[in-house]
Amino acid sequence: MAKTHTTLFPTPPLDECKAPIENVFELTPVPSNDGQAVFTNTHPLWHPSGSRGVYGGTLIAQSLSAAMLTVPSTVNMHSMHCHFLIAATAETPIYYHVDHVNDGDRLVTCMVKAKQRNHLIFTATVSFINNHSSMDEKVLEHSRSKPDVSVPQDPAVIAGEGTGNGLFESRIVDGDIDDLLRPSDKRYRRFVRSRGTISNSGGSNAHILALTYLTDTYFIGTLWRVYNLSPYPSPPPTDQEEPNQKAEEIEVMASLNHSIYLHHPQAVRVDDWILTEMETPWAGNERGLVVQRIWSTDGILVATCIQEALVRLKQHETPKHML
C-alpha cells in the first residue's frame, strides 16, 4: 500500500493561543515555478464519518484563506461562489492555486482552484470590495429582521458544558417545523458559536473564515429534515439532533455548489452566539436548494447562503408476487 501524507510539510503543533477553528484554515505557501500564488493545508484534513470526502466547509474556508493572502487588507470579501467537483480525500494534501481575474480600484475578484493529485476537485470565485462609502451617500438599505428567539441562558450551555469536542457548539431553537407545514414552509433555527475565543492576531478575517467554514454545517441536511428522513441507519447522537427521523431512505446526497453573500463583515463574531435559519424553497429532479440566513447576537443580518445539492432516494424494489 502506498504511503499517504496528509500535509506537504511537517505539521506544526496547534497554536493554543488561537481558537481551535483557526488552525483549520491555516495555510502554508508552496513555491511555484510560474510565480502563481499556491498554498497548501498546514494541518491534516478532516473526513467526517459516513461522508464521501473531506468536510466541504474546510475547502470553502481554506479557499477563502488562500484568496485573502493575495489581496490588500483594505478589501473585504462580499461574495463567494463555490463548486464541488470531486470528493476530496484526507489522505493527501490539497493545493490551492489563486489567480486574480480582476484588480479594480474598488472590486477585486479571485479564482481559486483546489487540486489533489493533479485533479481539480473544487473551485471558488471570491469577490472583494473596498468599503469606502460615505455616510452622506444615498444608498438602498434594508434587511430581513432576526427571528424573535432568545440566546441560550442556561449556565451550562453558556459555559459549553456537555456539548462534545467539536470546533463549534450549537443549540436548536424554536422554528417553523410543524409536520403539518409544507416542506418549503419549514424553518430550522439554531444558535452556534466557536469553541474558544478568536485571537486578536486573527482579527476580522479569522471571524469571517470561521463563518464560511460554519456555513456548510447542517446546511444540506435541511433537505432531509423537512421530510423527517435520515441519511443514517439511525439518527447520530449529535448536539440535539432532531428526533423522530425515519429509517435511512437516502442513497446519495452531495453538495454541488455553495454561495455565500457577506453583508456586514465587521459585525461577524463567531465566538459569540450567532443565529442561523435554514429552509428549502424547492426540490425536484434529484436536486434540492437550501437557503441560510445568519444573524449576529445583536440582530444584524451578516450573511446569506445558498446551496444546491444532489439528492437521490433509495428505490425499493416491488415484490415479485405483486408484479
Residues 109-156 have pLDDT tens digits of 999 999 999 999 999 999 999 976 656 678 899 999 999 998 877 655
Q: CA 87, CA 76: separation in Å to the nearest integer?
A: 29
- Domain total of the chain: 1
Examine residue 137 and state whether it is found in any structural domain, yes or no: no
Mean pLDDT computed over 70-81: 96
Query: 45 falls in which pLDDT band (50, 70, 90)?
Result: very high
Distance between CA 242 and CA 157 in Å, rounded? 18
- Residue 35 is predicted with a pLDDT of 86
Q: For residue 248, is it within any domain?
A: yes
* Sheet order of strands, 274-284 included: 27-29, 37-41, 95-103, 107-116, 119-129, 76-84, 250-262, 301-313, 287-295, 274-284, 188-194, 168-173
Please determine, for residue 298, whether its predicted confidence score (pLDDT) is greater than 80.
Answer: yes
The answer to whether position 6 is within a domain reads no
pLDDT at residue 2, rounded to an integer: 44
Rounded CA separation 5/246 (Å): 39
Write out the three cell numbers for 209.
Answer: 473564515
Question: 115: domain range?
Answer: 20-130+166-322
Q: What pLDDT, on the 0 to 100 scale, is given for residue 237?
A: 41
Output the domain CATH number for residue 312: 2.40.160.210
Cell numbers describing residue 64: 477563502
Residue 323's Cα: distance from chain center in Å? Answer: 46
Integer-rounded Cα radius of gyration of the chain: 20
Q: Is 6 exposed, middle or buried (0-12, 13-18, 19+ CB in 10 A)?
A: middle
| pLDDT at 317 (0 to 100) | 66
5 located within any domain: no
Q: What is the pLDDT of residues 213-222, one digit of tens each?
A: 999 999 999 9
144-181 pLDDT, tens digit per residue, is 999 999 887 765 555 544 444 589 999 888 777 888 89
pLDDT score recorded for residue 234: 45
Q: Is residue 157 part of a domain?
A: no
Q: Flag whether 138 is in a domain.
A: no
Mean pLDDT of the chain: 88
Residue 311 domain flag: yes
Cell numbers given for 53: 470526502
Q: Does residue 139 lie within any of the structural domains?
A: no
Q: List pLDDT tens digits, range 232-261.
A: 544 444 444 454 556 458 888 999 999 999
Residues 114/99, Cβ–Cβ less than 8 Å: no
Dihedral angle at the C-alpha atoms of 180, 184, 189, 193, nearest 10 degrees? 150
Q: How confident is the model at residue 208 (pLDDT cuts 50, 70, 90)?
A: very high
Cα dihedral angle (206, 209, 211, 217), rounded to 10 degrees?
Answer: -130
Strand 168-173 and strand 188-194: the pairing is antiparallel
